[in-house]
Structure 1
Amino acid sequence: MTHESLPEGHARVAADAAARGLAVEIFARPAANSLEEAATLMGITPQDIVKSLVVKRSDGTFLFALVPGGRSISWPKLRTVVGVNKLQMPKAEVALEATGYERGTITPLGSTTAWPVYADESMTGHKVAMGAGEHGYSMFVDADALVAAYGAVVADISVPQ
């Protein structure tokens, strides 16, 4: 499938991936009621699903925090790595405005603004599933290639849920 034939969010993801030389596999998936159900539907473990979280800094700029399933942002750890005293999760409409993606579809790929990326160290070393810019779709991408494509900061930024 060419990125011209994909819905608008997919097209942005595919075009950005191509521009970065990053191989992604975008695929339709049924709705899931839990992380475990989503992982089962995709034939992977919950830890292989990476959440792309939009985080707002006190100066009004944003960053992406990539955190594997079953883990949450550790705010003290992330603040230390970013070098700030305050970070917060913005409201859904603010995240949409900052990225062009609705919650549940967010990915750094194709974001309307290229915010810095911070990846939890536990997501590296294998293929992961992420949002693909449209509801009902996900993508597979090599985590290390994604980190390299963005020059992401890799650090311990999460804790088990």
Structure 2
Amino acid sequence: MTGQDGERRALAALEASGIGFEITRHGPVRSLAEAAAVRGVEPGDVVKSLVVRRGDDDYLFVLVTGDRAISWPKLRALLGVSRLSLPDAGTALEVTGYERGTITPFGSLTAWPVVADERVRGRRVSIGAGAHGVAATVDGDDLARALGATFADVTQDAAPA
């Protein structure tokens, strides 16, 4: 699948969701801070869409603000499981249709459940839109509602880079 296919799927899903969004396109970036700058937002307003594996053919998306990282103990407690993992890049592509750096729940090959960290709530956020250098700025509450996401405290401070 090409980035163009991914972008098409993500944009179609965003349009079908009925939420307001603004698309930003930019060239290659080397860091989350750089992505935030070219999108005109703060790093904490960039939402990372992470694919998490619960079990065989059982995944979910976890939406994490750019200044945070998954807290594995919090996420395991929320989901009531003892083990979780991040799939390798090939598996993530296989189960979402998106390569790393372009993953979004919008237009994913499978509509996996979504957990949004509570810090997504009540703010404008920028989320990937299916291709490198393409993002959608949306209201965090609308984002969660459109994806049927559960808000929960599932993150911790990101380790310094």
Please indicate, yes or no, whether the TM-score normalized by the shorter chain is above 0.5. yes
Q: 80-89 or 14-23: which moved more?
A: 14-23
Is contact 1:14–1:24 with CA below 8 Å preserved after alignment? Answer: no
Amino acid at match of 1:119: A
User: What code does the residue aligned with 2:52 have?
Assistant: V
Distance, in Å, in 2 between the alignment partners of 1:121 and 1:154 is 5
| TM-score normalised by L of structure 1 | 0.92
CA contact (8 A) 1:124 1:143 kept: yes
Q: Which of the numbers 140, 143, 152 marks the counterpart of 1:143?
A: 140
Once the two structures are superposed, residues 117-137 of structure 1 have per-residue CA deviations (whole angstroms, 9 ceiling, x without a partner) of 000001111111111101121
- C-alpha distance in structure 2 between counterparts of 1:80 and 1:60, whole Å: 20
Counterpart of 1:42 in structure 2 is: 39
Identity of paired residues, percent? 51
CA displacement at 1:101 relative to structure 2: 0.2
Deviations 1:97-148 (A, max 9, x none): 0100001000000000000000000111111111110112111111100101
Separation in 2, partners of 1:34, 1:11: 24
Letter in 2 for 1:14: L
Matched, 1:117 2:86: no
SS in 1 for 2:9: helix
Partners of 2:118 and 2:153 within 8 A in 1: yes
Question: Is the CA contact 1:120–1:158 (under 8 Å) kept in the aligned structure 2?
Answer: yes
Q: Give 1:30 deviation, angstroms.
A: 2.1
Q: Distance in 2 between matches of 1:93 and 1:38?
A: 23
Length, aligned pairs only: 156
Distance across 1 between alignment mates of 2:127 and 2:15: 17
Q: Quick check: 2:24–2:39 contact (8 Å CA) kept in 1?
A: no
- Contact 1:66–1:117 under 8 Å retained in 2: yes
Return 5+ residue gaps in structure 1 as ranges: 1-5
Unaligned runs of 5+ in 2: none
Question: 4+ runs of 1 displaced by more than 4 Å?
Answer: none
Structure 2 match to 1:153:
150
> Is 1:99 aligned with 2:109?
no
